[in-house]
Structure 1
């Protein structure tokens, strides 16, 4: 299982939110490039980045920062937040991003996902953020009536290979991921599932690894020192 250390960007800085609430935004590191290099030194093979300003505004705001991280670390980066049209997808991939995460646009514009997958294949991932099992959009400010597994099956049928699943009620809480919903999703579709939200410690990583997931994202746990990134990477690799 791949461990994806997370860098959430707001005004060019690394921040963490509690349950996706922008009012709880807390700066955890001033310099995203320095943070990313620290992750690389600890063995990270892939970095998960979110443009929170983009998610809120509906268009990318921190792409130059993402570019700097890619150039400095030479690591693959996946990016989500505010990517809602083909032009932006192309711009992000041209900037060197290895995997583009579509969220709101995937629910609102399945045709866009279809077109993007046709053109870019497995460089396109879909982020499914759920509240009580229903998919949330617009930076998590709105909850739809679409069940998260039904949505995943629709994306699978389109050809999406990777799904990042977050239970919003767990995100940034350090209370452990929603193992039950994540497990159900992993069984329901053949896509690669990345667990996100709530990872607290190495025990959570062990459980997720045993679930045969493709990956797990850790953010707050790394910044709060409740999880050692090096140890998580070793467990993920089965060492």
Structure 2
């Protein structure tokens, strides 16, 4: 991508990222009921709707969400049916990068696979605990840096379509903070994503100023604040 003006279909995908990914990149694992789709619980607790104006979708939600279960939505949210609890969180910053980044010198970056799954789950449980599941790694490629026999930092791919790809689970073990590992991993994956013809994007909480500052230093553009909700079935 060399232009700051994104194509309308890319804009639409970024504005409704769960739904867009479930209709394209992750259609093979999507669970669907009408204009509602979700990831299996073992992958991610995410649900998407085609439009906020789809009317009463209570029956579809009941097919997909178990009693007592909470799912998360981003960008587009329906009206909560009776008996469901919708909670709005502070919107997330959605950020993009359209040009390559210099990659700082540092330790080797390794592809992460099944042999590393235990290490990935341990690190995410420590520093990225809310949305990472047993099979989240199967949603895309993951990369990491090992130091002293431990997974010191990691990054992965999560949402996306053929034209845009989300970078996610960018995290560093507290014992290895301050060494530039997250920046090195992010620059590597940005460049690889762009080389594949896709737009790199990510979501970050405004309550995580350290991460926001990192992405700003790397030259990410704050495209928009995007709504973020949980929906719980009674």
Fold in common (TM above 0.5): no
More helix by share: 1
Bigger CA radius of gyration = 2
Which fold has the larger relative contact order, with Cα–Cα distance below 8 Å and residues 6 or more apart in sequence? 2
